[in-house]
Amino acid sequence: MSAHALILLADDDEDDVFLLDRAFREAQVPNPRARVSNGEQVLAYLEGDGKYTDREQFPYPLFLLLDLQMPAMDGFEVLKWIRAHPRHKRLPVIALTGHESERVLRQAYELGANALHRKPGNFEELLNLVQNLKSYCGIVRFPPPPAN
């Protein structure tokens, strides 16, 4: 595993994931990334359940990049769950949304998102977002949560 802490990406849209991966490469973010495609998988990953039990292969993330609109369990439910569990409540969560509604944005913050970004409308904006995250990757070092 890389010496750089892992970024967990939770998004069900293949096109968004492809563009995010491209932006991370172009921004030269050295952190490895793991991807899950729904809220239930986020919980399993964080808890180290099921296929995510091997922490060498699936290390606890530096932060979670969370799409708010996903199947099975949406990002709002994931935020609520994370903040209710002492083992995970310090995990930085950066929410992404296509919503324009102020109510939706306010709800994400109220549920514990550390930051919220609207999904960029073009690749240049996405690249700018990832370049901003790059500095975050270099300075934030949260220890993994205690073992069960």
- Residue 65: both structure tokens together: 């990049």
pLDDT at 140: 47
The full set of domains in the chain, from first to last, is 7-137 (3.40.50.2300)
3-state SS, residue 93:
strand
pTM for this structure? 0.87
Q: What is the pLDDT along the chain (148 residues), one digit of tens a residue?
A: 455 789 999 999 999 899 999 999 998 888 899 999 999 999 999 999 999 999 999 999 999 999 999 988 999 999 999 999 999 999 999 998 887 788 888 899 999 999 888 887 889 988 988 888 877 665 444 445 555 5
pLDDT at 146: 53
pLDDT at 39: 96
Kindly provide the residue ranges of all beta strands, DSSP E only, lying in the chain, ordered along the sequence: 7-10, 33-36, 63-67, 93-97, 115-118
CB environment 2-21: b (16+ within 10 A), e (fewer): eeebbbbbbbbeeebbebbe
- Residue 11: both structure tokens together: 């998004």
- Residue 116: both structure tokens together: 């919220």
Position 30, amino acid: P
3-state SS, residue 95:
strand
